[in-house]
Amino acid sequence: MSGYLSLWEQYGGQMLAAFWGNIQLAFYAAVASLILGLILALMRISPVPSFRWVGTAYVNIIRNTPLTIIITFGVAVLYGVFTWQLSSDFNLNFFQIAIFGLAIYHAAFFCEAIRAGVNTVPQGQAEAARAIGLGFFPAAQNIILPQALRGAITPIGNTLISLIKNTTVVAAGSVAEVSGLMKTMIEFRPDQGILIFLTIAMFFVIVVVPVGLLTTYLSKKLAVAR
């Protein structure tokens, strides 16, 4: 037990900083990828063939590529080729690129989640809306999207959970986060290996389980009776 306490003395500050890094990554990437995912979903269900084609190609390519490769590409292409330097702070650029990489990847999954939600709405709902004289936007706003959102809650929640966990992969993009730190900690304190793992695992349990519970609660509460 005293070994574990000394571990906190030695690494506590770094651990909290790394956890905070993961949370920040997850937050910004979630916002960015939800927006991008929504745009992609609209493209995929739009009547414009070129939009549909782009959306489909995007999803099929990105969804089947390992995230590590996407993050490495992010640095090699955005920073190496297109000299991404939005910030004068050198390291902040890589933080932004990491968020960008996470967003690109998870947008494909959010897109599919939203599309799945739209697909749960029966065609009859749209026909009924038009029959009572609603135009495109009123119908979308009042009839279709609210139902679609309910159907999409579970997959969106699951994607969100994956995103939180996948923030551990961006060490490849030079961001201080918890998986890199864990590696160092176990190398230098092999005696505490199991406790180091459990500590970091508990962090994710504490963050992820409430998101899962909230998703289940919402999807049950808002479920559309059909």
Partner 1 sequence: MSAQQSVLFDAPGPKTKRTILIINVIGAAVLLFVLYLLFKGLGDAGELKPEKWNVFAQGSIWSDYLLPGLMNTLKAAAISIVLALVFGFVFGLGRLSHMTWVRVISSIVVEFFRAVPVLIMMIFFWLFLGGAQLVPPDQSPFVAVVLGLTFYNGSVIAELVRSGVEGLPKGQREAGIAIGLTRGQSLRSIEVPQALTAMLPALIGQFVIILKDSALGSIVTYNELLYSANLVGTGNGNVFQALVVAAAIFIVINYALSALAKWLSRYLASRGEAGAAGHNDGGAEAPPAQVMGAPQTL
Partner 2 sequence: MALFSKRKTMALAGAAAAVALSLTACGGGGGGSGSGEGKIRIGIKFDQPGLGFQDGSNYTGFDVDVAKYVANELGYPADKVEFVSSPSANRENMLANKQVDMIFATYSITDARKERVSFAGPYFVAGQDLLVRKDDSSITGKDSLSGKKLCSVTGSTSAEKVKKDVPGVQLVEQSGYANCLGLLEKGGIDAVTTDDIILAGLAAAKANHGKFKVVGAPFSTEKYGVGLPKGSDKCESINKAITKMIDSGEWKKALEANTQGTGYTPNAETNPPKPDACS
Contact residues toward partner 1 (CB under 8 A) are: 45-52, 54, 60-61, 63-69, 72-73, 76-77, 80-82, 109, 116, 118-123, 125-126, 130, 136, 140, 144, 151, 154-155, 158-159, 161-162, 165-166, 168-169, 171-172, 178-179, 182-183, 186-187, 190, 193-194, 196-197, 200-201, 204-205, 208-209, 212
Give per-residue burial for 2-31: e unless 16+ CB within 10 Å, then b: eeeeebeeebeeebeebbebbeebbebbbe
- As measured in angstroms, the least distance from the Cβ of 177 to partner 1 is 10
In angstroms, the CA 72 to CA 92 distance is 16
User: What minimum distance in Å lies between the beta carbon of 209 and partner 1?
Assistant: 6
170 binds, options partner 1, partner 2, none, Cβ within 5 to 8 A by partner type? none
Closer by beta carbon to partner 1, 77 or else 89: 77
Burial class (CB in 10 A: 0-12, 13-18, 19+), 57: exposed
Give the footprint of partner 2 on this chain (CB under 8 A): 1, 72, 75-76, 79-81, 83, 90-91, 94, 171-172, 174, 180, 183-184, 187, 194
CB of 8 to partner 2, least distance (A): 15
Q: Which residue has the tokens 């995230």?
A: 67
Question: 10 contacts which partner out of partner 2, partner 1, none, CB within 5 to 8 A by kind?
Answer: none
To 5 degrees, how large is the angle CA 194–CA 176–CA 81? 135
Specify whether the CB–CB gap between 84 and 96 falls below 8 A. yes
Q: Among 222, 150, 205, 160, which Cα is nearest to 34's?
A: 160
End-to-end Cα separation, the chain, in angstroms: 55
The token duo for 56 is: 């489909």
Minimal distance in Å, beta carbon 1 to partner 2? 6
Supply the minimum distance, in Å, between the C-beta of residue 33 and partner 2. 23
